[in-house]
Structure 1
Amino acid sequence: MLPESRARSEQEAGRAVESDGFPEETPESQEVTRQLQESEQRYRSLFENNVDVVVTFGLEGKFLQMNRATEQLLGIPAKELVGTPFLQMIVPERRAHSEREFFRVLEGTPVQYQTAVYNRRREVIDLHVTVIPIHYEGEITGIHCIGKDITKQKQLERKLNQLAYFDPLTGLPNRNSLDTNLSRQVGERRKFALLALDLDRLKAVNETWGREAGDRLLKIIAHRLRDFLPSSADFFRNSGDDFIVTYYCDTDDECLGFARSLEARLRDPVVLGEIELSITSRIGISTFPDDGIDPDALLRKADTAMFAARRNGRNRVAFYRDVKSKDDARQFQLEIALRSAIANDELSLAFQPQIDLATGEVHGLEALLRWLHPQHGQVPPDQFIPVAEESGLIHEIGMWVIEAACRQAVEWNHAGLGNLPVSVNISIHQFYDDEFAGQLENVIRVSGMDPSRLVLEITESISSNSDVVVAQLHRFKAIGVRIAIDDFGTGYSSLRYLKDFPVDYLKIDRSFVDHLESNEKERRLVATITALAHNFGLQTIAEGTETAEQVAIMRELGADHAQGYHFSRPLAPDALVSWLAARA
């Protein structure tokens, strides 16, 4: 019998003791005894048979009792633990917090928190614990603790965090880490330089010796620069062969000297097997606060300077301030031309099919914006979309894309080509526009589009303000449209928004697909993404599938759908109709 129950039993029995010292067996005392025994048995069953950890501590924090689940989880028998302090089991970095929470319970406050302990093999076990005081006759006589093993959940979170914040190939912090770092540095209000660094030979290496050689080159460069950089610099892989370095400096001369040292370090030959390569680079520099106080603006301006350095030849360094006047003029001319493009119907849509990997049937289409300039020909989206966003034209252009996509989808459906879902990309500016949801609903109503056949593609960067995002997404879902997270794995990946956001699809970024044939780590990452998606009831779409082998691997790894040049490049509406007819 447990100490508390025994004390209550003796107290009740004592009430029936007569002057001769012997208890009188009455029906009432027998019923009390029976109830106490039944209560004792229920409590002991709950204690001993619980699948979770259940422990009783003394007021000094030492083990008094524990159930079998505790012994099994820790791999330590109760006889070894009884009388020892629980704090010695806690991992060092969690001990102070666990001790503070224990003292709160001693003051009478139940608490819940997460902690971590060592088992006998010194493996770390993550626990979610509920700790409550034991009260008897108005005093705290001990502590109960119930712990749930959350080790697998924490491992999954850590894996996703690694995926979200670090580049799987080089191990460097990725664009998401860069965004976090820049926000912090801007908040410090201290002068720093942002250097955009671009390698020159990666494409040639990939084409000549294969992507595996290109990957080795990237790893060598990443490790070389990471070991070379001072503590005042941070190093990130932005994408492909683009790297970003942030560096605290007081003068432009100091910054230029640092950039020159990076350039010189990169010129050292790289040995790939029996091949020796000389690497060339371009570095573009923007500085805070001289070139701006917004992280995106600093990145954009460093890129502008880097492209200017590229035009000037290899192994060149350029400051944004040295090229900004020409760039500003070009951007202004592009904005004027873009305004004319809307008025003169120079914009059009191309559609890229998405294929169901299980059936081989067309699952849907992604609508992609194209601009055919009357003098300059096709203008790449990565040139005019940033201009549209900076000038505010993105709202008008974005609604035009949705209207045109809905009209085209309804026209095809009436022509008997099927009611295929159509995806459109929406920018962060549209997403946070309070009027966007109403405009979207009106477009769907006027066009006659089935809202469930329209998929809005958002990027992971939108998820940075989760509370607002959830509310806005629910507004879209109330209209009946579906939601896809585009370029998944390159930005703010988080278990929280997979759990909270009402989305339907995850689009696996093409950077994970590129190296599937030769990179086992990439395969494991894709398998993790598909498993996560399916666990949350989402479907996956693999972007950039260009080979039959990539398609086969994606199917094997559990992806639901795929799009890419293996199936079809983006097609004009008439060409898409012919493509669909050829598949019929």
Structure 2
Amino acid sequence: MTPWRGPVWLRAGFGAGLVLLLAQSVAVVPAARPWSDRNPWFGGLLQDAIYVLAAVLVLVRAIAVRQDRTAWLLMTGGLGAYAAGTLTWVAVLADRNPPPYPSFADVMWLAYYPLAYAAVIQLLRARTARIGPATWLDGLIAAACAAAFASVVFMTDFGGAPGASRWSVGVSVAYPIADIVLAGLLLGAWALSGWRTEPLWVLLLAGMGINTIANGIHMYETTHGTYIPGGWTDALWTIALAVIVTAAWQSRQRPAERRPAAKVVGVALPAVLAFASLLLLLIGGWRSGALPRTSSLLAAAAIGGAIVRMLLTVRAVAALADARRQARTDDLTELPNRRLFLEVLDRELGRPAGSAPLAVAIVDLDHFKEINDSLGHHLGDRLLQMVAARLAEAFGGAGLLARLGGDEFGLLLPHADVTSARTTAINLLAALRRPFDLERVTLHVDASVGVAVFPEHGTDRGTLLRHADSAMRVAKGDHSGVVVTTSGAHDDADRQRLTTLEELRAGLGNGELVLHYQPQMELATGGIPGVEALVRWNHPTRGLVYPDGFLALAEHAGLMGRLTLEVLEMALAQSAAWRAAGLDLTIAVNLSAANLHDVTLPAYVADALTRHGVPPAALHLEITEEVLMRDAARATGVLAELRATGIRLAIDDYGTGYSSLAYLHALPVDDLKLDRAFVTHCDTDTRSAAIVKSTVELAHNLNMRLIAEGAENEAVLDRLRRWDCDLVQGYHVSRPQPPDVLTAWLRERAGLDPRSLTPTLNPA
């Protein structure tokens, strides 16, 4: 509630206050003094009305507004006590000769102080959740300094009247002490609030401060016999009351809106106060005996607090510098982190136009995730530390090397053009390719580097980093090591890649994947015991997309695990449909690396077989050698569980990976699928023929079947029969076909009437 928008009676109250304040101001003008002296009742009545109205307006605020109600009720009590003392003095005591001292009016006036203290403390508590040591010291400095100066005003030349009673002396001492404490409390509370500039807080402190100053002036004038009732000192008291009432009716700001003073104020004010206290001590020492002992002690307390505050500030600055360094340093490698990298890049790009070039390079380790998963995070972290140290050594400090996150590092090369940046990147790769000796393990690490140069490839941070990242991905894709961006071409490729990825994510949820099936023929009998499920993406606008158009993207985006499980579900549903139609076929499905790292896969596959009513022997799962090499131990455990359920396992694309005999000996697999690169030309190329023949013999000696991919003509089939190959698949047998087309082909091959086909299920 605001007074100028409140009820009529509230606006009338504030209007009356303005009138009284104006009358008080006029009454102290020298031209009006003769009339005031002839009518002393007017000054007394005016003073009484002002004090009573001030107490009433603050009480109304406490009742009408819930916020800070306790504080303003306390302030109402203090102002009410002050008003009661003034009424008693004007109505009863002022006309006595001599006026009694001390009197009931003094009791009421002194009662103002503890209630005012409590109100200030209550407001401070409501606005300060937690006060730190530095803020407490600011409060001590401010309170001690204010009290020191107030004590000079209130206690200098104070000795009490000769022959005064103990009560008179006590009351005479109580007034200056109360004002000294109030002065210290006001400035100390402001410091404890963080030097807030909230209007309510500033006005309250100003009003109570003016009241304390008026008290000091009154004491000085009374001591020296210059006090004039109804003069400027009385006007100051009236102004103080007006400011306090205005403060009471200020709307309390929300915590988010309250702002401390500027940082320079928070730092400078304690220093200024300490300097003022020191100056006070110097003046007191220069003028011997001019400074009360209490003032000296308070000034010394302010200076002592300032010294401790300075020590805390130095410590805080050191901690802030350390925190700033840590915030810009990578914890693991102790290299600069991404934040500092971007800050330096922005600073370098802010140089005047036409300055020297600047190269940005992004280095990304190849297959680090597989290393981390296989060897554990401890050795993965150790490898990153060794990589960082080797990069720093090879880099030589001619710029900035930072760890951007994960296994990605960034380089800034001032004054480097395309040629020198490429040379630096090649040197870094050469250093990385030297073996790393970890705990009983020797690792060979490779990386991909993308380079962009200012201003050739961009003039702002976002463009340069995007081009460097695009070039790095190109380098990773074609295994070229270092690629310098070609700007627009890479931008187009990135946009196409992101678009395709988002469409693929949506396609997985919309059932856009379909399966085609390629038969596997048994050479000994010519029968078709099974098929391999091959995934296609039925894109809404691009039509049928083959695996090489999206599988690599899915793997890079971490979608292969989800995609493979979707393929598995569709393949099992088709298997159940074929079995219901009288076609007893096995179905081979490829597993990804993500599947083999998932220890819950065997349980999921077993549940899927049960749901679709397909026996385990009807499912063949294929894995590549590269997948095995990424984490052989975990893969072996998962494969053993799968094989224990009765599922057959095969190594796909055999001969294109590591082809380690140790893996063949240890892995629980049933079949080898020889890659088409060897099979397709085995009828014309003697080397290919030797590899195929020896691989057939190897598989049989290990009690495995050999499945040859890429049988494209009858001559190849003849060779494979002669070498006792078990199964073949290729275009000479059949291309991959949709399930309905393949069903008709199978029935026709089996000599059945295609018109008797049972409808087949195509989950896509």
TM-score, length-scaled by structure 1: 0.48
TM-score, normalising length from structure 2?
0.37
Asked which structure has the greater CA Rg, the reply is 2
Query: When you count helix as a share of all residues, which structure comes out higher?
Result: 2
Higher RCO, 1 or 2 (CA under 8 Å, sep at least 6)?
A: 1
Query: Per residue, is there more strand in 1 or in 2?
Result: 1
